[in-house]
Chain A
Amino acid sequence: MSPGVDVKTLVIDGKDVTGRSGQTILEIARENGIDIPTLCHLDGLGDVGACRLCLVEIKGSNKLQPACVTTVFESMEVSTQSDRLLKHRRTILELLFTERNHICSVCVANGNCELQSLGQSQGLTHVRLPYRNPDLHVDASHERFTIDHNRCILCTRCVRVCAEIEGAHVWDVMGRGIDSMIISDLNDPWGESSCTRCGKCVQVCPTGALFDKSKVGEAHPKYPDFLPYLNLMREAK
């Protein structure tokens, strides 16, 4: 690190680490090979702390803090793997599975879904809470893409990539709490919206909520890795 940089030293899971002032716990943890699960976070997008999967314990505070939006301070002691946190992470995933209709076996993202693979990595074999079975629609009005609200976890990655990176801000969130819905423009059909057809939202969507129509019936991996590179190239310009 160059002189003049404000270095913070802290402890994450018993490991001494350092970071720059203004960095988040998540950034520093990942730089040091400490895995904190995330869903709404995506490298290259602004963080909102929506999914709560990255909650960590900070010594001296009873409140759990989301690692993606909590900046480090000197002598901070962070715990990312306590029993309490593992229990909360599991419950958060169960709540996500019950909130809408996630039928993995018939989902376009089966095998390429971050919710599905997180369920597995966090040891989920079943969901202890009753399913809500909401009646949600599928908007296939767009020429190339479809939004299936049954699979949406409201991470808002699509909203952020469209507003921050593409600059179109077609997507937004309507309603509050359990009634929240992702909408295009003023709740217009996606195909009649101001969408630029760039497809960034499809690539950043962690589940099968946004998908490419041409991929139906075949493997549909998402490639969100372009984001940090795109940002880097734009900054260099």
Chain B
Amino acid sequence: MSKLTLATVWLDGCSGCHMSFLDMDERLLALAELVDIVYSPIVDRKDFPNHVDIALVEGAVASVDDEKKIRKIRAHTTTLVAMGDCAVAGNVPSMRNPIGPQAILDRAYIQNVSTQPQIPCVVVPRLLPIVRPIHEFVKVDVFLPGCPPSADTFHTALTALVTGAPLDVPALTRFGA
């Protein structure tokens, strides 16, 4: 049997979910026997592959770039996993929603800046008016809440996904876990 392909993606999140994923420690070696990590912030590959069996997506959709990415990921992924509270529910990035992006940008780049205050507009993507969880844009197959989901949660969930065993997510984790 050829190995399954695994991608991990970092949208608007803090990378804590990726840190927790790495906290699987030596269990990553056993996982590497079953899957190839083909795309990830820790893999040197620029474009999302044509086909990925499992994609773990960290972070909410907060910018036009995030939206473009999540649609592309969905189109090329068999099992899309919303990894962590930001991807599942918006979480901390969504705390700007009641205030709106303009007020946030003004605060960060104009009001609190003494030299050449300006809002960045080149290279960086435009922020969406509302930060939203990924399932409001594309179909999500598995939701793994937690901030971040624990290494044990990752291990149990990934083992189930790779082997096709049943997965009881509420028994493993919850919002804010």
Contacts and interface: CB of A to CB of B under 8 A. Distances in A.
A126 B89 contact: yes
B97 A131 contact: yes
B58 interface: no
Contacts of A121: 170
Nearest to B87: A126
A126 B94 contact: no
Interface residues of B, number: 27
A133 to B, nearest CB: 4
Highest count of chain B CB atoms <10 Å: which of A103, A124, A135 = A103
B98 A101 contact: yes
A111 interface: yes
A9 interface: no
A134 B89 contact: no
Nearest to B96: A133
Nearest to B90: A131
B140 interface: yes
How big is chain A's contact interface, by range? 20 to 34
A120 interface: yes
A126 B170 contact: no
B94 A120 contact: no
A126 B147 CA distance: 14
B99 interface: yes
A119 interface: yes
B145 to A, nearest CB: 6
A106 interface: yes
A106 B95 CA distance: 10
A76 interface: no
A127 B89 contact: yes
A64 interface: no
B133 interface: yes
A125 interface: yes
A134 B98 CA distance: 6
Given A125-B170, A126-B140, A133-B130, A104 B85 contact: yes
B155 interface: no
Nearest to B98: A135
A12 B85 CA distance: 37
Contact of B132 (A111, A125, A131): A131
Given A104-B176, A110-B176, A130-B136, A136 B98 contact: yes
Interface in B52-92: 82, 85, 88-92
B174 interface: yes
Contacts of A133: 94, 97-98, 130
Given A103-B94, A133-B130, A123 B174 contact: no
B176 A126 contact: no
B147 A105 contact: yes
Nearest to A130: B136
Interface in A102-119: 102-107, 110-111, 116-117, 119
Interface string A222-234: 0000000000000
Nearest to A126: B143
A85 to B, nearest CB: 18
Contacts of B147: 104-105
B174 A105 contact: no
Contact of B88 (A101, A103, A126, A134): A126
Contacts of B140: 126
Contacts of A116: 174-176
Given A130-B132, A131-B90, 12 more contacts: A97-B89, A103-B94, A104-B85, A104-B174, A104-B175, A105-B85, A105-B92, A106-B95, A120-B174, A120-B175, A126-B133, A126-B135
5 contacts: A116-B174, A120-B170, A125-B170, A126-B133, A126-B135
Interface of A: 97, 101-107, 110-111, 116-117, 119-121, 123-128, 130-131, 133-136
List the 3 closest A-B pairs by CB distance, nearest first: A104-B176, A105-B147, A133-B97
